[in-house]
Amino acid sequence: MVRVVEPSSITAVINTADDMVLHGLHISPDIDTVTYTLAGLDNKETGWGIAGETWNVHAELGRIGGKNWFQLGDRDLATHLYRTQRLSEGASLSEVTAELARRRGVIARLLPMSDDPVRTRLTIATDTGSEDGDAEIDFQDYFVRHHHDVSVSAVRFAGAENAKPAAGVVEAVESAERVIVCPSNPLVSIGPILAVPGILDVLQRRRAQVVAVSPIIAGTALKGPADRLLRELGSESSALGVARLYAPWVSTMVIDEADRELAHSIEALGMRCVVTPTIMSTAERAESLAREVVGVVL
């Protein structure tokens, strides 16, 4: 997207319900992934962390028997130390996010969905065979420690009801030329943003300008548990299933060519449907998709 439009014209509203405190450090995985990606630091092999990272702290933590299921690289750790120190000094997550983005040379504006704590909590299904059956666990515990390889029976966003959108979030949606919903997990990445009071309202008001890219292609998610979670939580794991969830506040669905036969059903929901290649396997393909999404006539 930053290759297609002027980066300074972009505001990214980022899920913070995956945030966690580990070793006393405030970790914001989604903010960091967006920051590292836009700074050109992202590790393209793993899909998380910093390219060319070193693991000295992690290795030592393992040697002394510390919790190290959540891998923290040395450069990545500096981000968490910085954030935690600034938060302890009274800075808001928005301020810290802006500081870190600026220090990393990111031009686009990055906003956490909220400065208030919201935490995704997943209930693990009892039939899952896991020792955590019927327990409610944190997102990173589910995603990283369990490798999202357990059945989920419920998801909630603890704290969302009392959270306020971060300063600028509602205004950005209100004034945006278009609002693009990235091909992210509808339930646990987009869902928490919608759960912050005020955000869904403004999206509904701007529905005509909201374009979503389906994260489901030919029934499956390219990565992560979106397909499985959709099925487990009562939706259909397809671009149509996503469109049904989004229809109240999204006017335009962008779906992959592999799902061309779903276009009519999506249009029957009262949505526009654009069919195009959506697999961002290279920076060039990502740029083409961004160009397509930006070019959709609304």
Token readout for 227 is 């397909």
Nearest distance from C-beta of residue 58 to a second copy, angstroms: 8
Residue of 2, 22, 51, 280 interacting with a second copy (CB under 8 A): 22
Nearest distance from C-beta of residue 79 to a second copy, angstroms: 7
Instruction: Name which of 84 and 276 has its Cβ closer to a second copy.
Output: 84
Is 105 one of the binding residues for a second copy (CB under 8 A)? Answer: no
Interface with a second copy by CB under 8 A: which range of 72-80, 208-216, 230-238, 290-298?
A: 72-80
Residue of 9, 46, 78, 260 interacting with a second copy (CB under 8 A): 78
Which parts of 31-70 interact with a second copy (CB under 8 A)?
Answer: 54, 56-58, 60-61, 63-67
Total site size for a second copy, rule CB under 8 A: 33
Interface with a second copy by CB under 8 A: which range of 100-108, 202-210, 264-272, 287-295?
A: 100-108
Nearest distance from C-beta of residue 85 to a second copy, angstroms: 5
Is 145 one of the binding residues for a second copy (CB under 8 A)? Answer: no
Residue of 37, 43, 84, 265 interacting with a second copy (CB under 8 A): 84
Is 21 one of the binding residues for a second copy (CB under 8 A)? Answer: yes
Residue of 5, 75, 236, 244 interacting with a second copy (CB under 8 A): 75
Instruction: Name which of 24 and 90 has its Cβ closer to a second copy.
Output: 24
SS (H, E, C) the chain: CCCCCCHHHCEEEECCCCCEEECCEEECHHHHHHHHHHCCCECCCCCCCECCCCCHHHHHHHHCCCCCCCCCCHHHHHHHHHHHHHHHCCCCHHHHHHHHHHHCCCCCEEEECECCCCEEEEEECHHHCCCCCCCEEEHHHHHHHCCCCCCEEEEEEECHHHCCECCCHHHHHHHCCCEEECCCCHHHHHHHHHHCCCHHHHHHHCHHHEEEECCEECCEECCCCHHHHHHHCCCCCCHHHHHHHHCCCCCEEEEEHHHHHHHHHHHCCCCEEEEECCCCCCHHHHHHHHHHHHHCCC
Residue of 11, 33, 51, 104 interacting with a second copy (CB under 8 A): 104
Burial class of residue 102 in the structure, from the number of CB atoms within 10 Å of its CB (0-12 exposed, 13-18 middle, 19+ buried) = exposed
Is 94 one of the binding residues for a second copy (CB under 8 A)? Answer: no
Residue of 5, 7, 71, 74 interacting with a second copy (CB under 8 A): 74
Name the site residues for a second copy (rule: CB under 8 A).
Answer: 21-26, 54, 56-58, 60-61, 63-67, 74-75, 77-82, 84-85, 87-88, 99-100, 103-104
